[in-house]
Amino acid sequence: MKYVMTLKHCPNPDIGGYYQYPVDKKPIKAIGSSYKEMRDKFCDWIHRNDLGAGNVPWTVVSVIGKDKLIKPVARFSANGRLWELNDNDDSFNTSDPREICIDIDDDKETMDKYAIGEIKAVEPEPVKKTYQVMAVMETYCYLDVEATSIEEAYEIAKDTDGGEFVADDSWGSGDWRIAMENIVEKKEQNHVKS
């Protein structure tokens, strides 16, 4: 079976052109007998021309039938991955694209050269939640108390409103302690004016 594709580049719209002007100025027709051979030609072309992803449009791979008719069957993305086309209208299957795995297990040199490795399923990112984390901070305060003993001063201070104590900045801001037992998941709340 023979495959054919046209390799053509375009200016990257994000940078208004190219980082370096490509070696190949005109489109190139590439023919091969396997997807692997087509992928190798595609990646060689990208590297030879020093192209970035923004310079490489989807590249359609077609099969040349016995009757010399050409039927599009797949497309390359700029990273060298091959994707199926939609059977209904030969257009890109963008709603649920399926990758065509190219057998490269015995081709370590190509894997190293293009950093193309085993296709692995992507694990979904864990869903992040918002948690309210309580902390306790010790702030050193003082209160001048008139008493006949330490015990009486303690009892008077214990029964005094906290607002009467004065922060003692000479001790610094004190230590923090995270109250692990008080960490709770925060639920979204709709605030309704009444």
Q: What is the pLDDT along the chain (194 residues), one digit of tens a residue?
A: 788 999 999 998 888 888 888 999 999 999 998 888 999 999 999 999 989 889 999 899 988 877 777 888 888 988 888 888 765 544 555 555 677 777 644 344 444 444 433 444 456 677 888 888 877 777 778 889 999 999 999 899 888 887 788 877 776 666 667 767 777 777 765 444 44
The helix/strand count (H/E) of the chain reads as 3, 12
Q: How many CB atoms lie within 10 A of CB 67?
A: 5
The domain spans of the chain are 2-114, 131-185
Instruction: Outline where 49-120 has alpha helix (H).
Output: 108-114
Q: Which two three-digit tokens encode residue 12? A: 């990257």
Classify 154 as helix, strand or coil.
Answer: helix
**With a threshold of 0.75, does the pTM exceed it?**
no
